[in-house]
């Protein structure tokens, strides 16, 4: 079973406008919990014992907020990338030794979902380099991939959720700046369509709608 994961939390969140002027996007709250802490708790509940978080813009706030992970019963390691964005692919590649040549989960901090990460551990076959979770295209996005059975293929039927499990070899074979670019180039990837709760917290309007939906349920 996979016991290590990475949370991508270094983005500036510029589309959030004034909401991220003084705090990093992963520190925004939904239902009284920060986006970053929501991911930590969900990963911990799924049996993940070691989490690496990359931080950038106003990253000290995230570091102070999560600490060393002991309050969650896990271990947290920080990769501080500074204020200049280096890209998600580079961010993973920078710390690839942390995963000790074993498969690891990566999740975006700025999504809101009830996906059970424990399910990912059994999804990565021996002969593939990654297994990613796709969702139906939201109204604001035209799609990233299509599926042929479980094989991820070129197309735009579905959107990449920001959740996946990867083998380190994937990042040895590709040196692209962004994770999305790597996934589009690599052909040896499987995936599945997740039909449960998933939202991209990309704009103030989307954040407000998620909060309203949560309050009404």
Fold for the domain defined by 4-216: Spore Coat Polysaccharide Biosynthesis Protein SpsA; Chain A (3.90.550)
Condensed to tens digits (0 to 9), the pLDDT of residues 70-95 reads: 999 999 999 999 988 899 999 999 99
Q: Residue 20: which pLDDT band, with cuts at 50, 70 and 90?
A: very high
- pLDDT, tens digit, for every residue of 99-147? 999 999 999 999 999 999 988 988 999 999 999 999 999 999 999 999 9
Q: Map out the domains of the chain as residue ranges.
A: 4-216
- 């074979």: which residue's tokens? 173
Q: Supply the pLDDT for residue 4.
A: 97
Q: What is the pLDDT of residues 159-183, one digit of tens each?
A: 999 999 999 999 999 999 999 999 9
pTM for the structure as a whole = 0.97
Closest CA to 197 of 214, 183, 212: 214
Mean pLDDT value across the chain: 96
- Residues 87, 11: Cα–Cα separation, whole Å: 9
């Amino acid at each position: 079973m996979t016991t290590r994961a990475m949370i991508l939390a270094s983005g500036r969140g510029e589309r959030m406008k004034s909401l991220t002027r003084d705090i990093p996007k992963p520190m925004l709250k939904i239902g009284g919990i920060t986006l970053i802490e929501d991911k930590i708790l969900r990963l911990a509940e799924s049996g993940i014992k070691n989490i690496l978080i990359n931080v950038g813009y106003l990253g000290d706030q995230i570091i102070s907020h999560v600490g060393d992970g002991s309050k969650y019963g896990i271990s947290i390691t920080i990769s501080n990338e500074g204020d200049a964005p280096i890209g998600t692919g580079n961010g993973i590649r920078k710390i690839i030794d942390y995963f000790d040549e074993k498969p690891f989960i990566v999740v975006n901090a700025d999504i809101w979902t009830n996906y059970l990460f424990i399910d990912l551990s059994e999804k990565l076959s021996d002969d593939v380099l990654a297994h990613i979770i796709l969702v139906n295209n939201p109204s604001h996005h035209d799609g990233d991939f299509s599926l042929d059975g479980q094989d991820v293929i070129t197309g735009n039927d579905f959107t990449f959720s920001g959740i996946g499990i990867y083998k380190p070899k994937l990042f040895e074979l590709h040196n692209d700046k962004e994770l999305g670019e790597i996934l589009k180039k690599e052909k040896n990837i499987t995936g599945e369509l997740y039909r449960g709760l998933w939202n991209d917290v990309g704009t103030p309007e989307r954040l407000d709608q998620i909060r309203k939906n949560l309050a009404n349920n």
